[in-house]
Amino acid sequence: MGFLPREGSFPALRIRATGLEPRGPYARTQAEYLLPDELAVRRLTELLEATRVAVAAHFYMDPELQGVLAASPSPHTSVTDSLAMADKAIDMLDQGAERVVVLGVDFMSENVRAVFDAQGLGHVPVHRVATEPIGCSLAEAAASPGYQAWIDAAAGTDNALHVIYINTGLDVKARAEVKIPTLTCTSSNALQSILQAIAQVPEVAIRFGPDTYMGRNLQVYLRRLATMPAHRVAEVHPDVTPAMVAAALERFEAFPDGNCIVHHVFGAEVTRVIREHYQHAMVAAHLEVPGEMFDLALEAQAEGRGVVGSTADILNFIIERVDAAIASGSAPTEPISVILGTEAGMITSIVRAVQARLQQYRADGGPDICVEIVFPVAEEAVAATDDRELVVVPGVDSSEGCSAMGGCATCAFMKMNSLQALIGFLERLRDGATDDELQPFEPLRYAETLEGRPLAHWGTQPILAMRHFQRTGKLSDELVARIQE
């Protein structure tokens, strides 16, 4: 492709209406899977129809799997963030699906199972595609003795509210819930849920975990709000004042020892390269990134050229920038360049959404627009394979994280959900697998009881509290009463 690595040069994928232009082997490998094999698409579609399975997948799936899912005409596939997985699955049940396969780490399938049970859908089977555990470094941090001790200490605090990131196991949520009022959050609603807690319980003492980076980043957000004029704060939340935020900050505490192995790598070295060589690029960063990357993205956001938030927020930001360029009626002289500060698996959804808009614009007679997605990883961030045609794939041999010095932005746990694993599971169903044979593919069911009730009951309560907040914009009266006890 003629792409020469240089100091400060990250791999990039340029998206045009007419095709893709990968720059460097890392981007080229990502692009390989964006044109899925037609036989694989047909095979998957036939199996979905035969088994009446709905597939709820996360944005962080590998490009091969996402490409085939996206190309399937079946109404029973969805690729989304963790917040929307259960809702998308329910929508697909309404469209005729009879069971659900969750492609993600284990807490995602557990959460879908819990939401189904709480909504009277306990009869609908929920499956994984692996028999071995699919872990998550954040979930493991929350399951540690250190986190449990931190919760025990928080439970002795007046007006305490435990805000727990969704990337945690159902058992962790349960053990916290029996000790302290607990509210699940996601990266897209963490800030608003905290502000709402401050609005309804001004004396609230918030304990946020297990993501240390996200906790720190939320504190930065809150400090900024505490120093803003009242009318600016009201734009963010109408029932909160700078003084209320400042007071709540005195009682805010984040767990000090938990992070995502993927977002951990977007630290000082990556940020230095971006600041030195990509000053004019837009920056889209996940709320889980380390402080250096967060601060950079927050600066860009304040200047109108960046976003910090969830995977859905990142996708929406990129689409909005493309729509703005189209609305201008003329093609920018330079590509619309966006630094992708999250897991590289998002590229499939980004490419499909962006290219659809660019193709429609060209069909309407508009000029050519180029969007460039920059992967802030090293050009060397590939691993060799035995495949004669696809000799390298994104990732380092250890498959854990990345850095500007040679790793890559991909989650090894998420990649345990491969196309081959999904196809193999669907074939088991088609061939009449018994309930006993399917049992190892079910989300973990907790037989333990806590204070006389099933563990799953307690673990579901923080999720239901979040869903109440999402639906009404307020914390439930029951949760508020527990905080104030």
The proportion of the chain whose per-residue pLDDT surpasses 70, expressed as a percent, equals: 86
Q: What does the pLDDT read at residue 195?
A: 96
How many Å apart are CA 131 and CA 425, to the nearest integer? 10
Per-residue confidence at 410, pLDDT binned at 50, 70, 90? low
**343 or 165: which carries more pLDDT confidence?**
165
Give SS3 for 226: helix
In sequence order, what are the beta bridge partners of 450? 453
**285 or 162: which carries more pLDDT confidence?**
162
CB distance 355 to 363 below 8 Å: no
Among 232, 257, 258, residue whose Cα is nearest residue 245: 232
Q: What does the pLDDT read at residue 92?
A: 95
Q: Is the pLDDT of residue 241 over 90?
A: yes
Q: What does the pLDDT read at residue 140?
A: 75
CB distance 348 to 64 below 8 Å: no
User: Worst-scoring range by mean pLDDT, 61-75, 88-102, 204-218, 359-373?
Assistant: 61-75
CA torsion through residues 343, 345, 351, 353, sign = negative
Backbone angles phi, psi at 304, to 5 degrees: 80, 15
How many Å apart are CA 286 and CA 462, to the nearest integer? 23
Per-residue confidence at 166, pLDDT binned at 50, 70, 90? confident
Tokens at 36, concatenated: 């899925």
In angstroms and rounded to an integer, the radius of gyration of the C-alpha atoms of the chain is 23
Q: Quick one: average pLDDT of 386-395?
A: 38
Per-residue confidence at 133, pLDDT binned at 50, 70, 90? confident
Q: Is the pLDDT of residue 402 over 80?
A: no
Question: Residue 388: which residues within 8 A CB-CB, separation 6 or more?
Answer: none
Q: Quick one: average pLDDT of 436-450?
A: 88
The proportion of the chain whose per-residue pLDDT surpasses 90, expressed as a percent, equals: 46
User: Worst-scoring range by mean pLDDT, 95-104, 128-137, 202-211, 474-483?
Assistant: 128-137
Q: Is the pLDDT of residue 407 over 50?
A: no
Q: Which helix (H) or strand (E) holds 422?
A: helix 419-430
Q: What does the pLDDT read at residue 414?
A: 67
